[in-house]
Amino acid sequence: MAEITQHDGTWTFDGETVRIVPGQGRGVHPVRRELGELTVPLRAVAGISFEPHRKGGRLRLRLRDGACPVLRAADGRLKDAADPYQLAVEKDRGGVADYFVEEVRNALLLEQVPSGPTDGFLLPGPSVPVAGGGGDGTASFDGETVRLTWNWKAEEVKSSGGPVAFPVSEVTGVHWMPSIGLANGHLRFFRGVAGLSSAPAPAAEYDPYALDLWGLSKKEYTAVLVAAAVLVRLPNAMAPDTAGPGTAAIPGAAAAASGTAIGATAAGAIGAGPDEDGAAEGARLSKAPATPPATATATPPGPTAATPTPAPAPDAPPAADDHDVLLRRLQELGELHRSGVLTEDEFTAAKQAVLKRL
């Protein structure tokens, strides 16, 4: 059991789940307050780290790609303060944060949790009813119907038509983009055949199925919760990426690639940003030491093999001296030793080289 309590919230780990309870102070970001308590199963976790700095540090829980609908809807655009999987740690609590990290990492190693993408959401998404937005209106979703209501700042093409409501069964895609610099953001919904069109979507300020987000308040970020709640209820939300990273895997991909629209069936990479564990996983040994492919095999060498399989070079470090990566390397070496690819001496030498980096 591990627990850390800070102004931003409380994290608890019981060996199977990470329970995240956000703080309720004025300094806590609206996205985290509105999202509320999260229960993250261990199988959804890709890694965890504590990043110390002069005034304290930051605890980061890295989820597997596709595990969380909020991260998928955000597509890496959440600010640190809005990210529910980050916790600001005070300077005198660094030791507690380190202990928390060790407990989660050890559990990941013992359970052999993969760090690659998931086949579906492992978290339920925001509870409904949920509402959010700003700029020229507010979006709300009760689990069945999406509603867009306009304020006095909305363009006449929107306000003259009154509030818009449509069932989630008509939604083919949803895209959230926060305001960045001088460019407005949006929360846009795609419906029926129109959502599958390759034609560019109209500007959000004139689109009756989109909120135009101006970036004047942190509250506008809560629109991503509406996007996530809708996204998790779309049957094709986890469709594989067939149009390339950052584009929609539906016929509307051309519009999405232009930056004007993206469907809910967008690339499976939507969600968390680049992950050190994921990068290291791609460079893992495929049941063989870090030697040229011609000599690295998972089966014992044939009768014609004149030399034993060499051990991994001790001076060849992982892609980064990340604790998670090194633990996984130890696990790989153990598998190679048990399968007979490495001798006892080779295994011992390689293990010591990795342990020196821990």
Residue with the bigger pLDDT between 32 and 235: it is 32
Least confident of 31-35, 161-165, 201-205: 201-205
Confidence tier at 75 by pLDDT (50, 70, 90): very high
Which of these, 163, 167, 173, 220, lies nearest to 195 by C-alpha position?
173
Going by the DSSP 8-state scheme, the letter that residue 201 receives in this structure is: P
For the ranges 110-119, 209-218, 235-244, 267-276, the lowest mean pLDDT is seen at 267-276
User: What pLDDT, on a 0 to 100 scale, did the predictor assign at position 198?
Assistant: 64
Task: Please state, in angstroms and rounded to a whole number, the distance separating the CA atoms of residues 188 and 246.
Answer: 16
Report which of residues 259 and 70 the model is more confident about.
70
Q: What is the residue-wise DSSP string for 267-323?
A: -TT-SS---HHHHHHHTS-SSS-SS-TTT--SS---TT--SPPPPPPTT---SS--H
Please, which pLDDT band fits residue 322 given cuts at 50, 70 and 90? low
Residue 64 DSSP one-character state? P
Q: What is the mean pLDDT of residues 162-186?
A: 95
Least confidently predicted of 94-108, 119-133, 212-226, 339-353: 339-353
State the pLDDT at residue 5: 95
Tokens standing for residue 335: 């598998």
The tokens 């690819």 sit on which residue? 341
Banded model confidence at residue 203, pLDDT cuts 50, 70, 90: very high
**Helix (H) or strand (E) run with residue 326 in it:** helix 323-338
- Asked whether the beta carbons of 126 and 208 are under 8 A apart, the reply is no
Which residues are CB-neighbours of 327 under 8 A, at least 6 positions away?
Answer: 105, 108, 109
Q: Retrieve residue 13's tokens.
A: 């780990």
Residue positions counted in the chain: 358
Under a CB-based contact definition with an 8 Å cutoff, are residues 157 and 202 in contact? no
Per mean pLDDT, which of 26-30, 155-159, 246-250 is the most reliable?
155-159
- Quick one: tokens of 281? 């996983």
Ramachandran assignment for 304, one of left (phi > 0), alpha (psi -120 to 50 degrees), beta (any other): alpha
Closest by Cα among 235, 232, 223, 47 to 123: 232
Coil, strand, or helix at residue 258? Answer: coil
Question: Could you report the per-residue pLDDT of 263-309, keeping only the tens digit for each?
Answer: 333 333 333 333 334 333 333 333 333 334 333 333 444 444 444 44
Counting residues of the chain whose pLDDT is more than 70, the rounded percentage is: 72
Q: What is the mean pLDDT of residues 71-98?
A: 95
**232 vs 242: which has the higher pLDDT:** 232
**Mean pLDDT computed over every residue of the chain:** 79
DSSP string spanning 178-221? --BTTB-EEEEEEEGGGGG--SPPPPGGG-TTEEEE--S-GGGG
Say what the pLDDT of residue 357 is.
67
In this predicted structure, what is the pLDDT of residue 319?
Answer: 46
